[in-house]
A and B are shown apart, each in its own frame.
Chain A
Amino acid sequence: MENLYTQLLEDVRFEEGLNACMNCGVCTAICPAAEFYNYDPRMIVDMVQTRNDEVIRDLLKSETIWYCGQCMSCKTRCPRGNTPGQIIMALRLLSQKLGYFTESEKGRQQFAVKRTVGDNILEYGYCVPSYDVEPERHPEQGPVWEHIYENLEHFIARAGGELYGKEGPLRRFTPEVMQELRDIFDVTGGLDLFDAIEEASEKKAKEMDMEFTKEGIDCEYFRHVYTFDSGIHFIEEPIMEDHETGR
């Protein structure tokens, strides 16, 4: 018996985020993800409050918990003071700790989040530094970004900074600062979470018969989780169409 509900309760955000939900659906009405994906946060909250471990296990392995964009608009509007977005955060964390996230297409993408943002934090001390926003992976950034990427030193200097300098925008952190950051991850279980994501992803890559490397983003499994979309996630008739034709 895994006692999944009990494990969720250990997360202070879950305790704070869920009082009794009356299923009014206001969270779904305001949710940007529910307009785009086949997604209904109201149902997730209702499933969790059954406290049924089988139901919760299905959620942890599902696509649906990965659709939320964490805008937290639901927090403002819930008449019971619940925060479905925080319940989602607790579910996602547990799904990764238990290795269930690799059971869904959207869950498997956590490997890409770890290998980009996660690794950036420990390598550079930034989540998304300019030099990691490669134009090939970000075509939507357009030709202005290509210009910046190729002339980064001048871009920062024109703003009055120094790329990789001792202070200011995109300064380089000393080894001592980077060690402090790593030690914080170590002491707080942050490295264990990274390891859990890596371990389950490597196992899944093997199952899917895909090349997997121990680091970096140059491997088949990374490219797959980063770009693959099966097309099963979207609502059939986007609400956008109604909106554009006037209401």
Chain B
Amino acid sequence: MKLEGKKRIWSEFQKEIPDDHFFYVRSCIRQSFFPGSEQFFLKVLKEDLGKDIFEDPNHTTCTGIGYHGDVVQFDTIQTVVARHFALATEHGYKDVVISCVTSFGIYEEIIETWKHYPETLEKTRENLYKATGRVFDVPDSITHSSDIIYKFKDEIAAKAKFPLIDHVTGEPLRIVEHIGCHYSKMFPKYGVGGAEFPHVLIGMIEAWGGEVIDYPERRHCCGFGFRQYIVQANRGYSLSNSRKKFVSMQPYKPEAIIANCPGCTMFMDKWQYTIKEMDGMTYGQHGQGIPVLTYEELAGIVMGYNPWDLGLQYHNVQSEPLLDKMGIKYDQEEKYLTKDGKKLPVPKDLINA
């Protein structure tokens, strides 16, 4: 009896993640700032895990930053997302994988709205048909791309060449994980572990040998705030919220930050540069910054992919201290080469390099 009760309670925090045949939609921010992460995700699923994942190049932005920046209406974004569903339907896919936490939250909101207010689904069908002549099925599942990595974390661990362990001391590396507010704060049932026990990144870090840091402001927003970053006059809001997190995590000596959301990854990296420029402060050990990685980048270095092909050199805070601790060998000369091997200038003022 007691065990059944426990199972029932925890079932609310578990998420069923499909095993194969995915329709992939990209993120505006991830492809603009971390294109190597999306390319790695597709490659690892197809080549390392042997999965079917399909991307229709005709899928556009979901308009999510415009929606949360309040210049795109709900009817509009529902119809743009319905067009994505129509593309999935046309290609015979029922499980949609989303590369962006903002988009993921919007997909959750739209599907829940359609369930609770069926007339909004009908209106969206009408709008899409009128605008494009397309029809769609509501997908069987929506997952964030990190959910998929989470599902296959043990397969990745089995292929790990460089686990999250200090190769000199043998101690696990201390990692901060940042989930991103829209992953499960709005609709907890869509996230692995819900809003209270978000486990999607914890699962990866622990499976790959690392230790997760708990710190007071762990669940605080990175500070993106949409209009609070888009408009230059408001950026103090965004900076202050990231700084609050850095100050809170600093005593726990994190060796890296892993973020779920492309926006959070970008801000927690860029604001470390800004704070260093403004008042000389850094939050890592020995006066260094804390490298901020996407979960794809983390999986990639664990699996032994070349960190420069993943794009780690394109972060403001450079990852060498982390790579050194993991015992990863890299060639500094290769960092800023073009695909054809031409040498580009090295950016100034790199942190940690």
Interface residues of A (CB under 8 A from B): 11-13, 16, 32-33, 35-37, 66, 69-73, 75-76, 83, 89, 92-93, 96, 106, 109-110, 112-114, 116-118, 121, 125-130, 133, 137, 140-148, 151, 154-161, 166-171, 173-174, 177, 180-181, 183-190, 193-194, 197, 225-229, 234, 238, 240, 243-244
Q: Is the CB of B186 within 8 A of A75?
A: yes
Main secondary structure of the interface of B (DSSP, over half): helix
Question: Bound complex: CA of A6 vs CA of B187, how far in Å?
Answer: 27
Chain A residues closer than 8 Å to B233, beta-carbon distance: 109, 225-229
Using CB atoms, name the residue of chain B closest to A75.
Answer: B186
Q: Of A117, A133, A151, A184, which one neighbours B69 at CB under 8 angstroms?
A: A117
Q: Is the CB of A12 within 8 A of B57?
A: no
Q: Which of B35-43, B139-147, B155-163, B199-207 interfaces with chain A?
A: B35-43
Q: Is the CB of A137 within 8 A of B237?
A: no
Q: List 17 A-B contacts (CB under 8 A).
A: A12-B113, A13-B74, A32-B241, A37-B237, A70-B68, A70-B226, A72-B182, A75-B185, A113-B66, A125-B61, A129-B32, A144-B347, A147-B347, A181-B80, A185-B76, A187-B79, A188-B76
Chain A residues closer than 8 Å to B337, beta-carbon distance: 158
With A112-B230, A226-B232 known as contacts, the answer to whether A169 contacts B38 (CB < 8 A) is yes
Question: Bound complex: CA of A183 vs CA of B236, how far in Å?
Answer: 37
With A16-B116, A69-B225 known as contacts, the answer to whether A240 contacts B240 (CB < 8 A) is yes
Q: Is the CB of B80 within 8 A of A168?
A: no
Using CB atoms, name the residue of chain B closest to A171.
Answer: B57
Given contacts A73-B181, A158-B311, 10 further A-B contacts (CB under 8 A): A71-B185, A71-B225, A73-B219, A110-B70, A117-B66, A141-B316, A158-B338, A169-B38, A177-B60, A243-B247
Q: Is the CB of B39 within 8 A of A159?
A: yes
Q: Decide yes or no whether B253 CB sits under 8 A from chain A.
A: no
Question: Bound complex: CA of A29 vs CA of B146, how far in Å?
Answer: 30
Question: Bound complex: CA of A128 vs CA of B64, how far in Å?
Answer: 10
Q: Which of B45-53, B127-135, B164-172 interfaces with chain A?
A: B127-135
- Residue of A72, A89, A114, A140 with most chain B CB atoms under a 10 A cut-off: A140
Using CB atoms, name the residue of chain B closest to A176.
Answer: B58
Instruction: Tell me the residues in window 181-204 of chain B with beta carbons closer than 8 Å to chain A beta carbons.
Output: 181-182, 185-186, 188, 195
Q: Decide yes or no whether B293 CB sits under 8 A from chain A.
A: no
Chain B 309-353, CB-CB to A under 8 Å as 1, else 0, gives: 101001110000000000000000000111100101101111000
